[in-house]
Homo-oligomer: A and B are copies of this chain.
């Protein structure tokens, strides 16, 4: 089991950093950290990510159900649960809700974003060149989290592993082995989305 206080501190600091970039506006987004195979820590619903306290973090079981608490987890807890079970290396999952994540995915709604010839693709673990296509799946947004989780699950049954996915008009999920790596993935993903948006305007 990880040191719970350290995990809490990681999420609180990540929240402050994400808020300083305006990537979780209006209490959107959620952040989680793996505790062990049985449980993980996740932000409660409806709190601004820039001012999290330990009381805004709750423990849920591997299926995303609250453990020993009256607190309500974020609606998207099920997606965090899915990521931890599907990607064994994932120790932190960060879901942001940025302008570029929202508009680029909303324009596609269901399909994928393909990045190529960006040096920053290399910020994702396991990618060592700009000269490959990096595919990020986009799933149509839904308020039915069970159905949405199933769709994501089924996608990954047949698709290559990836480092992030996006809910259309909603935001990015990314993850990492450490808080540092997951934050690097967040920053790289947001950078690539901004670049892709601005390139689209330039080249069309």
Interchain CB contact under 8 A, A120 and B26: yes
* Complex copy number for this chain: 4
The stretch of A36-44, A79-87, A149-157, A164-172 that contacts the partner chain: A164-172
Question: A121-158: which residues lie under 8 A (CB-CB) from chain B?
Answer: 123, 128-131, 141, 143
Binary per-residue interface labels of chain A (75-105) against chain B in the complex, 1 for a CB within 8 Å, 0 otherwise: 0000000000000000000000101101110
- Size range of the interface on A? 35 or more
State which of B103, B119, B143, B197 has its C-beta within 8 Å of the C-beta of A141. Answer: B119
Residues of chain B within 8 A (CB-CB) of A200 are 202
Interchain CB contact under 8 A, A25 and B187: yes
Interchain CB contact under 8 A, A117 and B106: yes
Measured in the bound complex, the distance between the Cα atoms of B116 and A168 in whole Å is 12
Measured in the bound complex, the distance between the Cα atoms of B27 and A171 in whole Å is 23
Interchain CB contact under 8 A, A198 and B106: no
State which of B28, B119, B187, B197 has its C-beta within 8 Å of the C-beta of A170. Answer: B119
Residues of chain B within 8 A (CB-CB) of A190 are 25
Top 10 closest pairs, chain A to chain B, by CB: A119-B170, A26-B123, A26-B188, A26-B187, A117-B169, A25-B191, A26-B184, A25-B187, A103-B199, A129-B143
Question: Would you list 6 pairs from A and B whose C-beta atoms are within 8 A, ordered by A residue?
Answer: A106-B199, A107-B203, A130-B170, A197-B202, A200-B202, A201-B201
Known interface pairs A25-B188, A27-B123; 19 further A-B residue pairs with C-beta atoms within 8 A, sorted by A's residue number: A25-B120, A26-B123, A26-B188, A26-B191, A28-B119, A99-B194, A102-B119, A103-B199, A106-B117, A106-B195, A107-B199, A107-B203, A118-B169, A119-B141, A128-B143, A130-B141, A130-B143, A130-B169, A201-B202
